[in-house]
């Protein structure tokens, strides 16, 4: 982790950003308090291919 003011912050290229977006998913703390079924519904909204 570095400073948000770091001029080198960011991705090396579009492919790196795409891979990052495929690998990592972020949610808020409130969603983590949901039941498993409710959390799955929230995750499906942005990531339907995870649940095919």
Tens-digit pLDDT profile for residues 5-37? 666 677 888 898 888 888 887 788 999 999 999
Whether residue 6 lies inside any domain: the answer is no
What domain count does the chain have? 1
Residues in the chain: 52
Question: DSSP assignment of the chain, as one string?
Answer: ---TT-TT-S-SSHHHHHHHHHH-----HHHHTS-HHHHHHHHHHH-GGGG-
Whether residue 20 lies inside any domain: the answer is yes
C-alpha to C-alpha distance for 43 and 30, rounded to whole angstroms: 13
Higher pLDDT, 9 or 2: 9
Whether residue 4 lies inside any domain: the answer is no
pTM equals 0.53
Whether residue 38 lies inside any domain: the answer is yes
Domain range for 47? 14-51
Whether residue 9 lies inside any domain: the answer is no
């Amino acid at each position: 982790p570095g400073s948000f003011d770091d001029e080198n912050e960011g991705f090396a290229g579009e492919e790196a950003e795409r891979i990052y977006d495929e690998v990592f998913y972020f949610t808020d703390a409130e969603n983590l308090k949901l039941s498993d079924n409710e959390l799955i519904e929230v995750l499906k909204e942005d990531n339907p291919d995870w649940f095919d």
